[in-house]
Copies of this chain bind each other. A is one copy, B any other.
Amino acid sequence: MKLYDWHAAPNPKRVRMFLAEKELDLTIIEVSGEGLRLRPDYVEKFPQAMVPMLELTDGRQIGESMAICRYLEELHPAPPLLGRNAYERAQVDMWERRAFDEGMMAAGEVFRNTADAFAGRGLPGYATPVPQIPALVERGRTRLDLFFRKFDRQLDKHRFIAGDHFTVADCTTFCSIEFAGWSDIHIPADCTRLLRWQREVAARPSARA
């Protein structure tokens, strides 16, 4: 299997963290091209035009970070990163989605609508121009502040985001916070539980995947 990757981008990193936690060694193919765009041969191969994408040995393709992680979890169940029973899996699923929608999407609202290199590319995956919308920058900043505080509260009772075990919800949360950092937005100093968690996750080898 091959994982098509854009090393600098936040979404592929959450899948690489997942691979590192499982100690899975896939062939990684870098597809970033000129002007911070995907390489044209990759877009031709995978018109969905997003990363990451998992290509099976027979050429079949799986896009979407979480679809890839769930597929790999079925093939390689240990260590479990999506929960150990139906209820835990639902909690991981819910918190991963919250981290993505409230963290990753908000960080994307700020970054994609300000960076010059992304003029006309306000959203990923579109071949036609998507204009930048300045009002989304402020909305993204507000949402990130709420995201930090919600996840700080969640960590009051738990060591990790979705409970007492490291899961893919931690990967998504960690990469969302890194992505917010690109816009110089960081965890507020009074979110001490989230800062404690960030230090703990940053110390895992997978954080450098």
Contact = CB atoms under 8 A, between A and B. Distances in A.
Contacts of A142: 128, 130
A39 interface: no
A80 to B, nearest CB: 14
Copies in the complex: 2
A64 B169 CA distance: 14
A206 to B, nearest CB: 22
A165 interface: no
Given A64-B94, A146-B128, A70 B89 contact: yes
A86 interface: yes
Contact of A74 (B60, B66, B70, B86): B86
Interface residues on chain A, size class:
35 or more
A67 interface: yes
A202 interface: no
A158 interface: no
A40 interface: no
A68 B97 CA distance: 12
Interface stretch (A20-28, A133-141, A181-189): A133-141
A122 B146 contact: no
B93 A64 contact: yes
Interface string A26-70: 000000000000000000000010000000100010111011101
A97 B146 contact: no
A90 B67 contact: yes
Nearest to A135: B133
A71 B56 contact: no
A91 interface: yes
Contacts of A75: 86
Interface string A120-152: 001100101011010110010011001000000
B64 A97 contact: yes
7 contacts: A56-B87, A60-B87, A62-B91, A62-B94, A64-B94, A123-B143, A130-B139
